[in-house]
Amino acid sequence: MARRQVRAAGSRGWLPWLGFALLPLAVTPGAPPGSCPSACYCVATPELVQCRYERLEEPPGELPLTVHNLSIVGSNLSVLHRAAFAARPLPDLRLLRLHHDNIQTVEDMALQGLPALRTLDLSHNPLQSVAAGAFAGVPLLRTLQLNQALLAAPLEDQLALALRNLSLRRLELAGNALRALPTALLPAGLEELDLHNNSLQRLAASELRILDAPGLRGLRLTLGNNPLSCDCALRPFLAWLRAATTRVPDARSLRCSGPPALRGAVLLRLRPEGLACTGEEDGEPGQLETASYVFFGIVLALIGIVFLMVLYLNRRGIKRWLHNLREACRDQMEGYHYRYEQDADPRRASAIDTPGL
């Protein structure tokens, strides 16, 4: 019912405000009536408009043309419709804050009519779908804030399409439970990436290569408050971090969250070679050793079988050889016997002589 009221009001020129008026401060004298919407604050000058905790279901239509910063916080916008702002273009709007607005869908061309927009904050919204052309029509957009906005659905692919044509400089993705670097969301030329309070245990070597690719060499990323796991898998990242500390502004405050022995340790005080692996990872080399023992055993068995076959095939030759050997032994023994007998006398003589000395 509320929704219907809003729509009807919208068609009469946007006077949809269900909420009570909150002190419209210092509206420029002579501005057309309603230039600061009743649901919003216009602070000091109509350049800054804040519409807070009102039950707006559409962006307000009657905004001062001169507005630079607009924030609508705590409303229930649900869907940011195509051309939601186009009914009343705001040629000077540079910053648009739409956080805690229960936005689930951003349609194509939703920001049409805001040609000067540089900063868009969609944080704290349960985004479910973002159209490929959601940010079309705002070519100057440089900062996009999506903190705690990607928790409701896996949005990376949709966002990658939507960000394709932008020249973003700063992207905020804090608090999104990310487990890996969102490589698809890093347009060339990005300078700042905020990844604090996510679920990153490490950055893998492949991710570090992407960070060192030509278009992203100027990128600095914030990584605080991630559950970094200080085991051997963290070595590539730690080596990279020590060589590129300036690229992680909060590098010095990064701490290990595991394994237990290193919990709370300052990451930059550790050496990459010093990071060991826990029991789990040790399992793999153990299995490898078992496999190599089995292989070694099989090879030995094969050699044994070949040896036995050679023996079997050569049994006549071996018999002859044994016979010859026995003959040779006998000759040798006879020779020895003879020599022994010959030598016996002098030995005995010396043995008898000795006590007489």
Ligand X SMILES: *[C@@H]1O[C@H](CO)[C@@H](O)[C@H](O)[C@H]1NC(C)=O
Options 136, 233, 265, 268; binder of ligand X; rule CB under 6 A: 136
CB-count burial class (<10 Å; 0-12, 13-18, 19+) for 241: buried
* Residue among 127 and 275 whose Cβ is closer to ligand X: 127
Options 19, 47, 116, 192; binder of ligand X; rule CB under 6 A: 47
Options 16, 59, 64, 175; binder of ligand X; rule CB under 6 A: 175
- Is residue 57 within 8 A of residue 6, CB to CB? The reply is yes
Options 25, 177, 305, 322; binder of ligand X; rule CB under 6 A: 177
DSSP label of 342: H
Q: What is the 3-state secondary structure (H, E, C) of 94-150?
A: CEEECCCCCCCEECCCCCCCCCCCCEEECCCCCCCEECCCCCCCCCCCCEEECCCCC
* Residue among 68 and 169 whose Cβ is closer to ligand X: 68
* Residue among 27 and 136 whose Cβ is closer to ligand X: 136
Q: Judged by CB under 6 A, does residue 34 bind ligand X?
A: no
Residues 52 to 71 in contact with ligand X, rule: CB under 6 A = 57, 68-69
Q: Name the one range near ligand X by CB under 6 A: 26-34, 131-139, 260-268, 331-339.
A: 131-139
* Residue among 95 and 239 whose Cβ is closer to ligand X: 95
* Residue among 57 and 194 whose Cβ is closer to ligand X: 57
Q: Name the one range near ligand X by CB under 6 A: 22-30, 132-140, 254-262, 321-329.
A: 132-140
Q: Judged by CB under 6 A, does residue 76 bind ligand X?
A: yes
Q: Judged by CB under 6 A, does residue 165 bind ligand X?
A: yes
Options 9, 27, 95, 265; binder of ligand X; rule CB under 6 A: 95
92 conformational bin, left if phi > 0, alpha if psi -120 to 50, beta if neither: alpha
Q: Judged by CB under 6 A, does residue 253 bind ligand X?
A: no
Which residues, 6+ apart, have CB-to-CB distance to 223 below 8 Å? 195, 196, 200, 248, 250, 251, 254
**What is the closest distance, in whole angstroms, from the C-beta atom of residue 166 to ligand X in the complex?**
9
Q: Judged by CB under 6 A, does residue 3 bind ligand X?
A: yes
Identify which of 248, 245, 243, 238 has the alpha carbon closest to the alpha carbon of residue 272: 238
Options 35, 125, 145, 197; binder of ligand X; rule CB under 6 A: 197
Q: Name the one range near ligand X by CB under 6 A: 128-136, 229-237, 303-311, 337-345.
A: 128-136
- Is residue 100 within 8 A of residue 76, CB to CB? The reply is no
- Distance (Å, whole) CA 36 – CA 34: 5
- Distance (Å, whole) CA 45 – CA 26: 6
- Is residue 127 within 8 A of residue 150, CB to CB? The reply is yes
Q: Judged by CB under 6 A, does residue 318 bind ligand X?
A: no
Identify which of 174, 179, 237, 245 has the alpha carbon closest to the alpha carbon of residue 210: 237
CB-closest chain residue to ligand X? 175
- Distance (Å, whole) CA 91 – CA 88: 9
Torsion of CA 81, 82, 87, 92, to 10 degrees: 100
Q: Judged by CB under 6 A, does residue 112 bind ligand X?
A: no
**What is the closest distance, in whole angstroms, from the C-beta atom of residue 56 to ligand X in the complex?**
10
Footprint on this chain of ligand X (rule: CB under 6 A): 3, 47-48, 57, 68-69, 76, 78, 95, 102, 132-133, 136, 148, 164-165, 175, 177, 197
